[in-house]
């Protein structure tokens, strides 16, 4: 049979500055990458300018900073927009980044209607997983709708929303929760769109532009069946709920990044085998094959991948596409009774969960009430328990842990990309230079038009594109909308969640240690779990909070994006024994010293334990500055992390106490 065309091959990329990211994009394209997948830094995702005090230490860490159309021009220099398929992982500020992209195309004289690409623009899952929301769920849904309706008319080949089940699985979702929560999310968005788009043909076009972004984990059969279940349910929903007759517009269109949660910092070379296995689950199904694929790098659990690491991930895709016969055959899983039976089970279970969400008032209400978040935290707790007890095997972590020294990680600093701290100052200077070149009156007029559109309930897209051309900054655009809509803090989801029965020797050792320390202190131990900075990936913090309560500690956890001064005040007011800090964005060398200073000023006596993606040299530097313990994925699992917390508390109570690791803890 004829060989099918390869899927769209991407690597998720962006770091330091627009200049550095442009060079990386052009290098990757020259190596055979067929589309762009842009990672933006956290200040850009949250609508902050790089010179905002809240952005200190975060600029360019986890993606590229884009503060204005000047940065967008640099980012795409030498890259033809009219021939590119550009995916932007952006949510709260998705209308703004889309506006910048359209404004850049207009400046270049491109046919805007021919632009191809995707804005993630999936706000509801941000309240559940990644945490880069700015406004409340209702406002977020309105802004999503603005972008979807506008893009469907102005850029008809653009995917204005990428409904993400990927991040739900990363946050702990079971396969049924992943199916149901993502579809409930899509239904909420399309119901909102239908309020504005009444004409059946226009609504069908919008439905046909909805795309999905899936995860693919290690349970190969389940992942292959999940794609089938999504396909059947989406066809059913779009036909019955939205009256779409054309099967092409009902097609389940999706891209995939394989699971990063399964990647390990211990024996990380095994991650290559994991990545290939996960990719096959979405490449074998033929007709239902992923339309786009991006693979993580083998060392993402250690830090930011280097260009060579990204090249390795791209080459894996190219080997699968060009050296195997995958593309010569249709769906090789079709007709399998195992596949059909499991798919039917998933479809039925997902329907039942969708009905529960519908009874709660839909995805927006279920998000605002905390129902969806608490389900994810509970599922993640079950996953953690399964790994801790050995019920779920993970090679190199809870089984087959013996290893020879790895030549890939001999000296961990060279094995990941180090962002130059001076890059942040350069980005700030570039923004100051840009501001100096603008027409101030035009900027003020554009921002006022944006505020007026927001207040009147009108679409903000035309006003946003006007802002882009005027040179408005990312922070100014978001600040104008904050004046209208305010800020929002989502439920944490940890209240009432239990880890469940864990009877391993390691857990019992921790439990005994916690009881012993509480007896010596003459009161229950108190732990403050904190997420300083802009990082919204809260899985570890939530599970530490759940485990702490299971061990009998009084745990305070107020959620993400807290300022050091807020954390210090809470530590002093609650008189906690320790502050457990989780930072995954690479901003630890800024946020943690600021927290230590704030704790000192507040008179808090708590020991500080820091976790996250922290290179060994940085860990030593933090210890030298007064951090009691540093724990990363290289040092062990959640139970090991809590052992470090208890050791830090013990040192506060008795400086001569013997750490658990030296007591012979297994």
Residue 187 counted as domain residue? yes
Catalytic residue among 15, 125, 373, 531: 531
Of 593, 655, 634, 367, nearest to 488 (Cα)?
Answer: 367
- Do 60 and 198 belong together in one domain? yes
Helix (H, G, I), strand (E, B) or coil at 28: helix
Per-residue H/E/C for 61-125: CCCECCCCHHHHHHHCCCCCHHHCEEEEECCCCHHHHHHHHHHHHHHHCCCHHHCEEEECCCCHH
Q: Provide the pLDDT for residue 503.
A: 63
Residue 135 near residue 488 (C-beta atoms within 8 A) = yes
Distances (CA, A) of 52 to 55, 92, 214: 5, 17, 34
Range of the domain at 228: 9-388
- Do 370 and 516 belong together in one domain? no
Residue 3 counted as domain residue? no
Element housing 326 (H / E): none
| Single residue among 330, 353, 388 that ends a domain in this structure | 388
- Do 373 and 509 belong together in one domain? no
- Average pLDDT (205-221) is 94
What is the tens place of the pLDDT at every residue in 354-373? 999 999 999 999 998 999 99
- Average pLDDT (313-328) is 94
Q: Provide the pLDDT for residue 199.
A: 94
150 an active-site residue?
no
pTM, entire model: 0.91
Q: Give backbone dihedrals phi and psi of 355, rounded to 5 degrees, phi first.
A: -65, -40
Confidence grade of residue 99 (pLDDT, cut at 50, 70, 90): very high
Res. 461: pLDDT tops 80: yes
Residue 583 counted as domain residue? yes
Angle at 592 between CA 586 and CA 597, to 5 degrees: 155
What is the tens place of the pLDDT at every residue in 475-491? 999 999 999 999 998 87
Confidence grade of residue 492 (pLDDT, cut at 50, 70, 90): confident
- Average pLDDT (395-415) is 78
In this structure, of 78-92, 194-208, 387-401, the range with the lowest mean pLDDT score is 387-401
434 an active-site residue?
no
Q: Provide the pLDDT for residue 553.
A: 94
Catalytic residue among 15, 125, 167, 373: 167
Q: Give dist(CA 454, CA 444) in Å, integer.
A: 15
Is residue 163 left, alpha or beta, with left meaning phi > 0 and alpha meaning psi from -120 to 50? beta
Structure tokens at 418: 């180090």
- Average pLDDT (616-638) is 91
Res. 660: pLDDT tops 70: no
Q: Provide the pLDDT for residue 498.
A: 66
Q: Provide the pLDDT for residue 421.
A: 80
Instruction: List the CATH number of the domain containing 170.
Output: 3.20.20.240
- Average pLDDT (390-403) is 91
Catalytic residue among 52, 309, 535, 635: 535
Res. 330: pLDDT tops 90: no
Residue 83 near residue 452 (C-beta atoms within 8 A) = no
Catalytic residue among 15, 125, 373, 537: 537
Residue 444 counted as domain residue? no
Exposed (0-12), middle (13-18) or buried (19+): which is 544, by Cβ within 10 Å?
buried
Instruction: Tally the C-alpha atoms within 13 A of residue 479's C-alpha that lie toward its C-beta.
Output: 11
Of 613, 609, 586, nearest to 659 (Cα)?
Answer: 609
Q: Provide the pLDDT for residue 320.
A: 95
Residue 27 counted as domain residue? yes
Q: Provide the pLDDT for residue 412.
A: 46
Res. 665: pLDDT tops 50: no
Could you tell me what percent of the chain has a pLDDT over 70? Answer: 96
Residue 166 near residue 213 (C-beta atoms within 8 A) = yes
Catalytic residue among 101, 166, 254, 371: 166
Res. 26: pLDDT tops 90: yes
Residue 16 is classified by DSSP as: S
Structural domains of the chain, count:
2
In this structure, of 63-72, 159-168, 538-547, the range with the lowest mean pLDDT score is 538-547
Q: Give dist(CA 142, CA 111) in Å, integer.
A: 27
Q: Provide the pLDDT for residue 260.
A: 83
Residue 535 counted as domain residue? yes
Residue 38 near residue 14 (C-beta atoms within 8 A) = yes
- 287 or 338, which is more confident: 338
Res. 662: pLDDT tops 60: no
Residue 172 counted as domain residue? yes
Residues 6+ apart with CB under 8 A from 84: 35, 36, 116, 117
Res. 664: pLDDT tops 80: no
Exposed (0-12), middle (13-18) or buried (19+): which is 180, by Cβ within 10 Å?
buried
| Single residue among 332, 363, 388 that ends a domain in this structure | 388
12 an active-site residue?
yes
| Single residue among 348, 373, 388 that ends a domain in this structure | 388
- 585 or 430, which is more confident: 430
What is the tens place of the pLDDT at every residue in 440-450? 999 999 999 99
Helix (H, G, I), strand (E, B) or coil at 327: helix
254 an active-site residue?
no
Distances (CA, A) of 298 to 171, 217, 260, 288, 321: 20, 15, 10, 26, 19
- Average pLDDT (204-216) is 95
- Per-chain mean pLDDT for the chain: 91
Q: Give backbone dihedrals phi and psi of 273, rounded to 5 degrees, phi first.
A: -65, -40
Confidence grade of residue 494 (pLDDT, cut at 50, 70, 90): confident
Per-residue H/E/C for 360-407: CCCHHHHHHCCHHHHHHHHHHHHHHHHHHHCCCCCECCCECCCCCCCC
Residue 298 counted as domain residue? yes
Q: Give dist(CA 64, CA 15) in Å, integer.
A: 4
Instruction: List the CATH number of the domain containing 642.
Output: 3.40.50.280
């Amino acid at each position: 049979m004829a060989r099918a065309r390869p899927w769209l091959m991407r690597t998720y990329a962006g770091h330091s500055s627009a200049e550095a990211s442009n060079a990386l994009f052009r290098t990757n394209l020259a190596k055979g990458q067929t589309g762009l997948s842009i990672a933006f830094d956290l200040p850009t995702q949250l609508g902050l300018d790089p010179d905002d005090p809240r952005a200190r230490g975060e600029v360019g860490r986890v993606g590229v900073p884009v503060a204005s159309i000047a940065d967008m021009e640099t980012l795409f220099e030498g890259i033809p927009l009219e021939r590119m398929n550009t995916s932007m992982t952006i949510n709260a500020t998705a209308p703004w980044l889309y506006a910048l992209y359209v404004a850049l195309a207009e400046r270049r004289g491109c046919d805007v209607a021919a632009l191809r690409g995707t804005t993630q623009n999936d706000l509801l899952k941000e309240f559940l997983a990644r945490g880069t929301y700015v406004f409340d769920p209702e406002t977020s849904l309105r802004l999503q709708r603005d972008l979807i309706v506008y893009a469907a008319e102005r850029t008809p080949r653009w995917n204005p929303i990428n409904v993400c089940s990927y991040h739900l699985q990363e946050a702990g979702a079971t396969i049924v929760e992943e199916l149901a929560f993502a579809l409930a999310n899509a239904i909420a968005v399309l119901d909102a769109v239908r309020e504005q788009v009444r004409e059946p043909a226009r609504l069908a076009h919008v439905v046909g532009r909805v795309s999905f972004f899936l995860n693919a984990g290690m349970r190969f059969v389940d992942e292959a069946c999940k794609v089938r279940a999504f396909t059947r349910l989406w066809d059913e929903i779009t036909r019955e709920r939205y009256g779409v007759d054309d099967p092409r517009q009902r097609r389940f269109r999706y891209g995939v990044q394989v699971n990063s949660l399964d990647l390990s910092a211990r024996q990380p070379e095994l991650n290559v085998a994991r990545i290939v296995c996960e990719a096959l689950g979405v490449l074998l199904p033929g007709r239902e094959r992923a339309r786009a694929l991006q693979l993580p790098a083998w060392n993402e659990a250690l830090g930011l991948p280097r260009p060579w690491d990204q090249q390795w991930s791209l080459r894996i895709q190219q080997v699968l596409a060009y050296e195997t016969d995958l593309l010569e055959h249709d769906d090789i899983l079709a007709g399998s009774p195992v596949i059909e039976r499991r798919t039917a089970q998933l479809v039925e279970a997902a329907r039942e969960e969708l009905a529960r969400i519908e009874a709660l008032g839909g995805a927006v209400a279920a998000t605002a009430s905390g129902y969806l978040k608490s389900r994810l935290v509970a599922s993640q707790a079950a996953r953690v328990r399964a790994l801790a007890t050995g019920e779920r095997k993970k090679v190199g972590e809870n089984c087959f842990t013996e290893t020879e020294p790895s030549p890939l990680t001999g000296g961990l600093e060279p094995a990941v990309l180090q962002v130059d701290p001076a890059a942040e100052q350069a980005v700030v200077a570039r923004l100051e230079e840009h501001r100096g070149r603008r027409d101030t009156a035009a900027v003020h007029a554009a921002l006022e038009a944006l505020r007026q559109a927001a207040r009147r309930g009108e679409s903000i897209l035309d006003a946003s594109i006007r802002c882009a051309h005027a040179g408005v900054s990312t922070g100014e655009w978001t600040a104008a909308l904050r004046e209208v809509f305010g800020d929002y803090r989502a439920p944490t989801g940890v209240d009432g969640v239990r880890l469940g029965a864990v009877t391993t020797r390691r857990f019992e050792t921790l439990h005994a240690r916690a009881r012993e320390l509480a007896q010596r202190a003459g009161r229950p131990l108190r732990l403050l779990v904190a997420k300083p900075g802009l990082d919204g990936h809260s899985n570890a913090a939530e599970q530490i909070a759940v485990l702490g309560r299971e061990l009998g500690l009084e745990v305070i956890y107020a959620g993400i994006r807290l300022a050091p001064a807020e954390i210090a005040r809470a530590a002093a007011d609650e008189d906690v024994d320790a502050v457990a800090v989780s930072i995954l964005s690479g901003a630890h060398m800024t946020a943690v010293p600021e927290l230590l200073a704030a704790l000192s000023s507040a008179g808090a006596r708590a020991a500080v334990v820091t976790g996250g993606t922290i290179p060994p040299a940085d860990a030593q530097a933090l210890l030298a500055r007064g951090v009691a313990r540093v724990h990363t994925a290289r040092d062990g699992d959640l139970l090991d992390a809590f052992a470090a917390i208890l050791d830090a508390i013990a040192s506060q109570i008795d400086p001569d106490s013997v750490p658990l690791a030296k007591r012979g803890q297994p």
